[in-house]
């Protein structure tokens, strides 16, 4: 009798499992059928290889079946609420794991601090296996399925993403798909002359074709890694290396490369990633006689990635790293019917912001913001003041010309200004990849150092410190007002300054980007609750802004956003509205008290930081001050 009951119970469980399985299969089938035709069409257009396509489809299914149950339910949840990431509570923070907390377990132990910062999205800078001394800050990956030993293991990563999800924190990682490290297994085999693996890169047995490429392909690192090709004596070939010589460009004309990289992508998303930052995406397709940037095939590949993720892991967002002028960035959103990336960096706005800090003239920034505001509201930009990379002065020089500024001398001015060479500048920082031929140079420094906090601290000048903190906080307030999602660089929340220690590390000394990639100073972070310290002042001011942003629905990323004329070149005014609510932000970029001649006559307004009523007409605004005026 007992045995029969037991058997019946077992049968029931088996039935349940089979039914669950069926349901799961149904979900997959539905997604797959929805996208199959387009995926096949795009794949065939690029590769004309149906057996490789069939292999891709088989593997997609395997990755889906391997995907954890919690992630699958997150997929379903986000599939029904696709705008989940456009909410006003989205706030990102980016950091290198070792700099932030030693290792992955350390990051897990700091989640309370991350919550205290109101951050609900963390970007873990590259953490996959890479060769010390030839790592480009982790952007030279030697194994896409292994975590750097000193940071922990894949299990630690899974544990971290699970812990983050419990707290509602999203996790982002880099997917460096343009190249592998020369220490990657494929590269090692290619170096030994294995043709199968050589075909995954771009090899040439003499310099004829490389020199043809060099005619049209610009250089990314003209000083630290000049040229686009590297001679490999072991197999007597040149290999294409757009970035550093140890970063070998992958050849996406080979479907094996595409398939394998998609398997790596799915492997990583299955570890619980919410956001995948596609590194250096414009570079992934190469053609002779072109600049090898933004070619149409790049969009085919990104679209295929989007489809693959919609089928296997639809909760995952694609963030494209397109560090280019606006007209080249926007196509990476794709179209409404055929979307590509969910989010892109607002890089021109970032660079234009620092131009505005140096010139105290908002005209170019206003123009730039107007361009962003005229784009469809569904386009989500990531806004930032600083990231791990240099600031390239990619400004709208045509527009600047109309204001009497020429590209070369202006770049020189900006670099001089931020190095602190210009009278009145309190910034500190260093040049990056100064090109002796073109005279071009980019810039490195933390937000705080560029705002004058480093200099004021060094000189123990309280007045200057107060001014620097005001500028720093105003810039954050302005960034929060922009259309999109703000991302902080870890350490900025406590005003961390440049870290010159990199010069003593032979592996880093040549790359001044390490100046603003210093380790988080937890000693200073202890001061966040003390309003008499620099850290406390900045942290608490940002906290107030974060609270406001979370509370006010006009901060959703798809709100209406526009600029307002202030009749003063140093004062920027941005309006936002959503569902009958309206807030206008007024920002004084100059070190003088000013009046913004705005004239909003549609009612009474309250300033959200001070709680005071302020009429949005002829607003007096202190040096480096700002207001968030909410319509009552």
* C-alpha–C-alpha distance, residues 86 and 102, integer Å: 31
State which of positions 227-256 bind ligand GLC (CB under 6 A).
243
Query: Considering the complex, what minimum distance in angstroms separates the CB of residue 137 from ligand GLC?
Result: 5
User: Which position among 39, 128, 190, 280 is part of the footprint of ligand GLC (CB under 6 A)?
Assistant: 280
State which of positions 384-413 bind ligand GLC (CB under 6 A).
388-389
Q: Which is nearer to ligand GLC, 280 or 583 (CB)?
A: 280
DSSP letter (8 states) at residue 280: T
User: Which position among 183, 274, 279, 430 is part of the footprint of ligand GLC (CB under 6 A)?
Assistant: 279
Query: Considering the complex, what minimum distance in angstroms separates the CB of residue 243 from ligand GLC?
Result: 4
Using alpha carbons, list the distances in angstroms from residue 611 to 467, 548, 623. 23, 12, 20
Secondary structure element (H or E) that encloses residue 624, with its range: none
User: Which position among 56, 74, 176, 330 is part of the footprint of ligand GLC (CB under 6 A)?
Assistant: 176
Q: Which is nearer to ligand GLC, 493 or 511 (CB)?
A: 511
Q: Which is nearer to ligand GLC, 389 or 472 (CB)?
A: 389
Q: Characterize the bridge pairing of strands 317-320 and 343-345.
A: parallel
Query: Considering the complex, what minimum distance in angstroms separates the CB of residue 388 from ligand GLC?
Result: 6
269 touches 309 (CB < 8 A): yes
* C-alpha–C-alpha distance, residues 608 and 613, integer Å: 9
Q: Which is nearer to ligand GLC, 67 or 516 (CB)?
A: 516
Q: Which is nearer to ligand GLC, 251 or 590 (CB)?
A: 251
Query: Considering the complex, what minimum distance in angstroms separates the CB of residue 225 from ligand GLC?
Result: 9
Using alpha carbons, list the distances in angstroms from residue 474 to 43, 74, 628. 48, 37, 11
Alpha helices in 140-279 (DSSP H): 154-166, 185-191, 195-198, 208-216, 255-269
* C-alpha–C-alpha distance, residues 57 and 54, integer Å: 5
* Residue 378 CA from chain centroid, whole number: 18
Find where tokens 């003041």 sit: 385
Query: Considering the complex, what minimum distance in angstroms separates the CB of residue 73 from ligand GLC?
Result: 33
Q: Which is nearer to ligand GLC, 28 or 432 (CB)?
A: 432
* C-alpha–C-alpha distance, residues 449 and 548, integer Å: 26
- By C-alpha distance, which of 215, 221, 248 is closest to 232? 248
Query: Considering the complex, what minimum distance in angstroms separates the CB of residue 517 from ligand GLC?
Result: 10
Query: Considering the complex, what minimum distance in angstroms separates the CB of residue 140 from ligand GLC?
Result: 7
417 touches 427 (CB < 8 A): yes
* Start-to-end Cα distance in the chain: 74
Query: Considering the complex, what minimum distance in angstroms separates the CB of residue 277 from ligand GLC?
Result: 9
Catalytically active residues are: 279, 321
State which of positions 132-151 bind ligand GLC (CB under 6 A).
136-137, 139
Query: Considering the complex, what minimum distance in angstroms separates the CB of residue 537 from ligand GLC?
Result: 31
Which residue of the chain is nearest ligand GLC when measured via CB? Answer: 139
Q: Report how many residues bind ligand GLC under the rule CB under 6 A.
A: 10
* C-alpha–C-alpha distance, residues 250 and 253, integer Å: 9
* C-alpha–C-alpha distance, residues 614 and 628, integer Å: 10
Structure token digits, residue 404: 């009497």
Q: Which is nearer to ligand GLC, 126 or 575 (CB)?
A: 126
Q: Which is nearer to ligand GLC, 200 or 388 (CB)?
A: 388
* Residue 422 CA from chain centroid, whole number: 31
DSSP per-residue letters across 450-519: HHTHHHHHHTT-HHHHHHHHHHHHHHHHHHHHSSSEEEEETTGGGT----GGGGG-TTTTT-GGGGG-PP
Using alpha carbons, list the distances in angstroms from residue 267 to 31, 172, 252, 313, 332. 19, 14, 19, 11, 24
Within 10 angstroms of residue 543's Cβ, the number of other Cβ atoms is 15
Structure token digits, residue 283: 């570079």
Q: Which is nearer to ligand GLC, 230 or 527 (CB)?
A: 230
Cβ-count burial of 166 within 10 angstroms (0-12 exposed, 13-18 middle, 19+ buried)? exposed
DSSP letter (8 states) at residue 222: T
**Binding string, residues 314-333; x marks residues near ligand GLC by CB under 6 A:** -------x------------
Beta bridge partners of 599: 617
Contact between 183 and ligand GLC per CB under 6 A: no
Q: Which is nearer to ligand GLC, 280 or 451 (CB)?
A: 280
Query: Considering the complex, what minimum distance in angstroms separates the CB of residue 86 from ligand GLC?
Result: 24
Query: Considering the complex, what minimum distance in angstroms separates the CB of residue 128 from ligand GLC?
Result: 12
Half-sphere exposure of 25 (CA within 13 A, CB side): 6
* C-alpha–C-alpha distance, residues 129 and 131, integer Å: 7
| Positive or negative: CA dihedral 139, 144, 149, 155 | positive
Q: Which is nearer to ligand GLC, 90 or 280 (CB)?
A: 280
Q: Which residues bind ligand GLC (CB under 6 A)?
A: 136-137, 139, 176, 243, 279-280, 321, 388-389
């Amino acid at each position: 009798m007992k045995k029969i009951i037991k058997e019946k119970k077992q049968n029931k469980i088996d039935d349940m499992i089979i039914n669950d399985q069926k349901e799961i299969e149904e979900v997959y089938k539905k997604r797959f059928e929805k996208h199959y035709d387009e995926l096949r069409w795009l794949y065939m257009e690029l590769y004309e290889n149906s057996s490789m396509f069939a292999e891709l489809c088989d593997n997609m299914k395997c990755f889906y079946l391997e995907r954890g149950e919690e992630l699958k339910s997150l997929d379903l949840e986000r599939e029904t609420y696709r705008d989940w990431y456009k909410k006003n509570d989205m706030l990102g923070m980016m950091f290198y794991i070792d700099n932030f907390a030693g290792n992955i377990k350390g990051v897990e132990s700091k989640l309370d601090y991350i919550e205290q910062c109101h951050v609900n999205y963390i970007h873990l800078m590259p953490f996959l296996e890479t060769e010390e001394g030839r790592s480009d800050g982790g952007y030279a990956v030697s194994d896409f399925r292994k975590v750097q030993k000193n940071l922990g293991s894949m299990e630690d990563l899974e544990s971290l993403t699970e812990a983050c999800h419990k707290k509602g924190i999203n996790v982002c990682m880099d997917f460096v798909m343009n190249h592998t490290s020369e220490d990657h297994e494929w590269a090692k085999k290619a170096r030994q002359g294995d043709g199968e693996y050589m075909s995954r890169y771009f090899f040439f047995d003499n310099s004829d074709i490389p020199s043809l490429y060099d005619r049209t392909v610009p250089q990314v690192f003209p000083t630290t890694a000049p040229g686009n090709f590297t001679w490999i004596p072991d197999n007597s070939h040149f290999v294409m290396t757009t970035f550093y010589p140890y970063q070998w460009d992958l050849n996406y004309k080979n479907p094996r490369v595409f398939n394998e990289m998609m398997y790596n992508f799915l492997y990583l998303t299955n570890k619980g990633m919410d956001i995948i930052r596609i590194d250096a995406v414009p570079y992934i397709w190469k053609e002779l006689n072109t600049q090898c940037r933004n070619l149409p095939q790049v969009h085919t590949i990104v679209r295929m990635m989007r489809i693959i993720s919609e089928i296997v892991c639809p909760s995952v967002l694609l963030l494209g790293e397109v560090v280019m002028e606006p007209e080249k960035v926007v196509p990476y959103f794709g179209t409404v019917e055929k979307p590509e990336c969910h989010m892109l960096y607002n890089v021109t706005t970032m660079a234009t912001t620092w131009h505005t800090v140096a010139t105290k003239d908002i005209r170019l920034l206003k123009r730039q913001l107007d361009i962003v505001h005229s784009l469809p509201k569904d386009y989500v930009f990531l806004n930032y003041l600083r990231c791990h990379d240099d600031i390239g002065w990619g400004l709208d020089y045509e527009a600047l010309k109309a204001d009497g500024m020429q590209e070369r001398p202006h770049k020189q001015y900006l670099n001089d200004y931020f190095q602190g060479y210009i009278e009145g500048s309190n910034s500190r920082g260093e040049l990056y990849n100064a090109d002796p031929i073109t005279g071009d140079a980019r810039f490195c420094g933390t937000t705080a150092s560029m705002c004058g906090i480093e200099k004021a601290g060094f000189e123990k000048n309280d007045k200057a410190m107060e001014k620097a903190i005001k500028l720093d906080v105003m810039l954050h307030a302005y960034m929060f007002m922009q259309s999109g999602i703000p991302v902080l660089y870890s350490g900025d929340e406590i005003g961390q300054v440049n870290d010159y220690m990199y010069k003593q590390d032979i592996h880093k000394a040549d790359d001044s980007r390490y100046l603003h990639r210093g380790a988080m100073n937890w000693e200073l972070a202890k001061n966040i609750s003390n309003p008499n310290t620099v850290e406390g002042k900045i942290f608490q001011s940002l906290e107030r802004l974060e609270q406001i942003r979370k509370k006010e629905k006009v901060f959703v990323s798809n709100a209406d956003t526009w600029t307002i004329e202030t009749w003063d070149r140093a004062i920027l005014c941005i309006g936002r509205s959503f569902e009958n609510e309206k807030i206008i932000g007024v920002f004084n970029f100059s070190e003088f008290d000013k009046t913004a001649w705005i004239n909003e006559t549609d009612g009474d307004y309250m300033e959200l930081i001070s709680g005071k009523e302020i009429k949005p007409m002829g607003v007096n605004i202190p040096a480096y001050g700002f207001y968030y005026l909410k319509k009552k």
